[in-house]
Chain A
Amino acid sequence: MTQARTHVSAEPELAIRVRGLRKSFGDVVALDGVDLDVPPGTVLGLLGPNGAGKTTAVRVMATLLRPDAGEISVAGLDVVREAAAVRERIGLAGQYAAIDENLTGLENLVMVGRLYGASRAAATARGHELLQRFDLVDAAGRPAKTYSGGMRRRLDLAAALVAKPPVLFLDEPTTGLDPRSRLDLWTTIEELVGEGRTVLLTTQYLDEADRLADTIAVIDHGRVIAQGTPDELKDRVGGERLEVRLSSAGQAADAVRALAAISDEPPHCEGDTVTVGVRRRNGMIVEAVRRLDDAGVGVDDIALRRPTLDDVFLSLTGHAAESTDDGDEQKERT
C-alpha cells in the first residue's frame, strides 16, 4: 500500500485538478460535473461500474477528448489550451491495449520513443530497458500478435512509460487478466508510484482500488458520489458482508428480521439471498445461524465475504451498481 507523500512546500501544486467536468455524447450525459484532486506522487482510483464515465474522464484528462465544460489541469497545464505540452508529460494505457500487433515488442516501443522525438538509438536503448523491466525480453523480437493478454497489457504499459512521464493514466489496467498477472501488474504499478509518479487508474474492482489507491473516487452516472481513502470508504460500506442463501425465498422477511440485530444497517434482500454488513468476523456465522434457527428459517448456505463494488454502491446509493451502457454484454479485452 502506497503512502501519500507529504510535501515540503506549503502548497504543493496538484498533479491533476478537475473542476466541473462535463461531457455529453448527443443525448448521453457521460460526465455530469466531476471534481477531482490528485496530489503529486499519489494514486487516485476512479471506481465505477460499466458506463459510469471512467474512460470518458480519462480521455478528457489525456487530451483525447475536448470537455464540454470544466477546468482540467494536468501537471499544472490546461488540457485544452496547453494540450501539446500536457502530452509531453503524460503516459496513457487505455482500456484496450493499444499496440501494433504486427510489430514486435521492441519495434512498438521504438516507434513510440521516436514519436516522442528521441533518436532511433536512444529509443532502442529505452525500449530494451523497458522490455527488461516488464519481463518481455524473451518475446522482444516476436510480433505482438503472438503475445498473451497479460503480455499485451505489459507492453502497453511499457509504451506509456517510454518518455518517463510524471503523470500516468491507466484505464482498467487489470481487467481481463488472470489472478497471477493481475498481482504482477499491481506490483509494477506500486513500483511506478514508488518512483514518484502520479497515477490515475480506473477500475471496477474495490479490492484493486483498495490495494493501489491513496484516494478513491466512486463514480456513477457521470458523478462522483463518494471520495475518500480506502479505509474511509470501507467504513462507510461497513466491512465484510454476511451472505445467507435461504432454503425458501418465502422466508426472506423472517430472515431480515432475525439478522437486523447483528448489523447497524438493514439487511438487503434479493431473491433467496440476504446480505448484511458486519463489523467483526469472529463468531458471526455461528451467531447468525443461531438467530436464523431460532426464527425457524431454513438455510442452504452461509458465508462471509469481502465487500465488493456492488456493496459500495448499495450502501452509497441504495441500489446495486448497474451498467448504464445500452448493451450489457461483457466488453472484450486487449
Chain B
Amino acid sequence: MSRLITDTLIVAERNLVRLTRAPDLLLAFTVQPIMFVLLFVYVFGGAILVPDFYGSYVMFLLPGIIVQNIAFGGFVTALGLNEDLSKGLIDRFRSLPMARAAVLAGRTLSDVVTNTLSVLVLLVTGLIIGFSFDASPFEVLAGFALLLLFGYAFSWIFALLGLVVTSPEAANSLGFIAVFPLTFISSAFVPVESMPAALQWFAEINPFTLVVDAMRHLWVGAPAGNAVWGAVVWSLVIIAVFAPLAVSRYRRAAGH
C-alpha cells in the first residue's frame, strides 16, 4: 500500500513537471477559462434573465462555469495517457516493479492539482468582476472540496477515454462532443426554466445541474434541497464505475 502511494506521487510529480515544460497546456488552465467567464458575463450576461435572488449574472454564472471548467480538467489525463501509450512509456512503466495502479492514480491525482489551480484563477477573476460569496468559511471550503471531488470523478472518465481512443485528436473531439452538451443543457449558464420542455427534462436529471445547484447553495446561499448530497453521491458513483473500467482497460491496452 505504501508502495502504491509513493509510486502514485512519483507519477503525479512527473505529470506536473511536464506541465511546466509545455506552457501552452498551462494556458489552457488559466487564460482560456478567464476568457470564457468574460465572454459570458459581458456578451451574453445582459441578455440572460436570472432569478432576482442572484442580483447579477456573474453571481449566477460563476459557480456554473467553474463546474464546467473542472469537468474539462480531466482532458489532461486523456491526452497524457494516450500519449504515454503510443510513445511506449506505459510499456516501460509496466516493466518496472512499481505498483500497477500508480500510473492511473498518479494521473488523476495530478489533475486535482491543476484543477485547484484553475478554480482559483476563475474565482479571482469572478471576484474582480463582481462575484461575492454569501456563505460561511466552512461552506466555501465545502464548495471547494465538492468541486475537486467532482473533477476527480471526471478524470476517471477521461482516463478511460484516453485509453480507448487511438489518437489525442480523437480524445479531444470525443471529449468535447460528450461534455459540451452535458454542461450546456444544465443549469450552469441559464436557468433551466427558460429551456424548451424536452431540454428542461434532460437538464433536470443531468448530474451537472445537481453539482451546479449544490455549488450555488454552498457559495451564494441559493436554495438547493438535497443537491449537495446528490452531487457527492453522483461523484462517488462515477468513480466507482469508471475507475475499475479504466483500470481494466489499462491492463488490456497494455497488452494483457
Contact = CB atoms under 8 A, between A and B. Distances in A.
Interface of A: 59, 62-66, 84, 87-88, 90-92, 94-103, 107, 111-112, 114-117, 143, 159
Closest CB pairs A-B (n = 6): A98-B88, A102-B18, A98-B92, A102-B21, A87-B97, A92-B95
Given A94-B92, A101-B87, A116-B98, 19 more contacts: A63-B94, A63-B95, A64-B94, A91-B95, A92-B91, A92-B92, A96-B87, A98-B88, A99-B89, A100-B89, A102-B17, A102-B22, A103-B21, A107-B14, A112-B96, A115-B7, A115-B93, A115-B98, A117-B3
Given A98-B87, A112-B92, A103 B17 contact: yes
A90 B95 contact: yes
Given A92-B91, A94-B91, A114-B10, A100 B18 contact: yes
A103 B18 contact: yes
B160 to A, nearest CB: 21
A64 B255 CA distance: 6
Contacts of B256: 65-66
Contacts of A63: 94-95
B254 interface: yes
Given A59-B255, A66-B256, A97 B97 contact: no
Contacts of A101: 87
Contacts of A102: 17-18, 21-22
Given A94-B88, A96-B87, A96-B88, A62 B7 contact: no
Interface of B: 3, 6-7, 10, 14, 17-18, 21-22, 87-89, 91-98, 102, 254-256
Q: Interface SS of chain B: helix, strand, loop or mixed?
A: helix
Contacts of B88: 94-98
A114 B92 CA distance: 13
B227 to A, nearest CB: 40
Given A96-B88, A98-B89, A102-B18, A111 B10 contact: yes
B17 A115 contact: no
Nearest to A87: B97
25 contacts: A59-B91, A59-B255, A62-B95, A63-B95, A64-B254, A64-B255, A66-B255, A84-B97, A88-B97, A91-B95, A92-B91, A94-B91, A95-B88, A98-B91, A98-B92, A100-B14, A100-B18, A102-B21, A103-B18, A107-B14, A112-B96, A114-B10, A115-B93, A115-B97, A117-B3
Contacts of B92: 92, 94, 98, 112, 159
A115 B94 contact: no
Nearest to B103: A115
A116 B21 contact: no
Given A100-B18, A102-B21, A107-B17, A87 B10 contact: no
A252 B225 CA distance: 91
A81 to B, nearest CB: 15
B234 to A, nearest CB: 34
A96 B87 CA distance: 7
A255 to B, nearest CB: 47
Nearest to B99: A115
B77 to A, nearest CB: 15
A279 B94 CA distance: 48
Contacts of A100: 14, 18, 89
Contacts of A107: 14, 17
Contacts of B6: 114
A279 to B, nearest CB: 44
A117 B99 CA distance: 10
A218 to B, nearest CB: 25
B23 to A, nearest CB: 11
A58 to B, nearest CB: 10
A42 B110 CA distance: 43
A87 B17 CA distance: 26
A249 to B, nearest CB: 44
A91 B97 CA distance: 11
A87 B96 contact: yes
Contacts of A59: 91, 255
A332 to B, nearest CB: 11
